[in-house]
């Protein structure tokens, strides 16, 4: 049979185009096949004080996000009793390389101890700056001061989270315990830590902010 070089080259180019199109189509799918690794970095409110591991905030948040189609893994890096300064001290080993994002939930213990808001502010901002220097985006889950600490303390403490979020262009969820604080049925007998149902309320309310954070991560 007589060879037809031109026809053969056309077939080769056509095959190459098909392979290239398939590679382009499959590339993003492969790139997204690894779950986004999000660290919930906080105190007992993240750790799940008094609750089974699968009822703690990170586990419940992961299930809620997966139910909405997000391929994520939420790592529990909460330590009961941690102040913002204690969190800063353990930051580097609590947030490993390869982490895609961090939800910082600290400050409640500073407030409960009446710690100078300036101390908590410095520590939380240092956490944000250190993570940013590592190329790890941050979302802030804020806290409000208890009214019994006085107007001046409350004013200074309550400005910590919005100020830092604005300065560093962070997604902010203003009050982690929104919808739960003061609700007896949603808190353990100590009145400070949410029940499993309380955690579900927290997750349902914080979910839109977390999804906004995930969108930022995916668009980087």
Model confidence over 47-71: pLDDT tens digits? 999 999 999 999 999 999 999 999 9
pTM here?
A: 0.85
What contacts 134, CB < 8 A, 6 or more positions away?
95, 97
Is 44 among the catalytic positions? yes
Q: Which fold has domain 35-218?
A: Rossmann fold (3.40.50)
pLDDT, one tens digit per residue, over 164-209 is 999 999 999 999 999 999 999 999 999 999 999 999 999 999 999 9
How would residue 220 be classed by pLDDT, with cut points 50, 70 and 90?
confident
- Give me 168's structure tokens: 């560093």
pLDDT tops 90 at residue 16: no
Secondary-structure breakdown of the chain: helix, strand, coil percentages, each rounded to the nearest 5 = 55, 15, 30
State the Cα–Cα distance between residues 129 and 212, nearest whole angstrom. 20
CA distance 213 to 93: 23
Name the DSSP class of 29.
Answer: H
Residue 70 appears among annotated catalytic residues:
no
What residues does each domain of the chain span? 1-33, 35-218
Q: Active-site residue among 33, 37, 44, 178?
A: 44
- Report the C-alpha gap between 37 and 65 in whole angstroms: 12
70, 168, 193, 204: the catalytic one is 193
Q: Which of 33, 133, 185, 190 is the catalytic position?
A: 190
Q: Would you call 133 a catalytic residue per the annotation?
A: no
């Amino acid at each position: 049979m007589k060879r037809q070089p031109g026809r053969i080259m056309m077939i080769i180019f056509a095959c190459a185009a098909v392979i290239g199109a398939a590679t382009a189509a499959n590339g993003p799918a492969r790139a997204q096949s690894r779950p986004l690794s999000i660290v919930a970095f906080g105190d007992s409110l993240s750790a799940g004080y008094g609750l089974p591991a699968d009822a703690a905030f990170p586990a419940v948040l992961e299930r809620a996000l997966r139910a909405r189609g997000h391929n994520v893994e939420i790592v529990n890096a909460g330590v009961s009793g941690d102040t913002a300064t204690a969190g800063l001290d353990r930051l580097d080993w609590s947030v490993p390389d390869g982490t895609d994002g961090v939800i910082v939930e600290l400050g409640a213990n500073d407030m409960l101890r009446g710690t100078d808001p300036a101390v908590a502010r410095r520590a939380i901002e240092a956490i944000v700056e250190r993570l940013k220097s590592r190329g790890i985006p941050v979302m802030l889950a804020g806290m409000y001061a208890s009214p019994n600490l006085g107007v001046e303390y409350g004013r200074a403490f309550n400005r910590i989270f919005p100020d830092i979020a604005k300065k560093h262009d962070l997604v902010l969820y203003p009050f982690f315990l929104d919808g739960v604080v003061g609700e007896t049925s949603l808190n353990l007998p100590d009145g400070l830590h949410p029940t499993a149902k309380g955690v579900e309320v927290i997750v349902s309310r914080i979910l839109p902010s977390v999804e906004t954070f995930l969108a930022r991560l995916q668009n980087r």
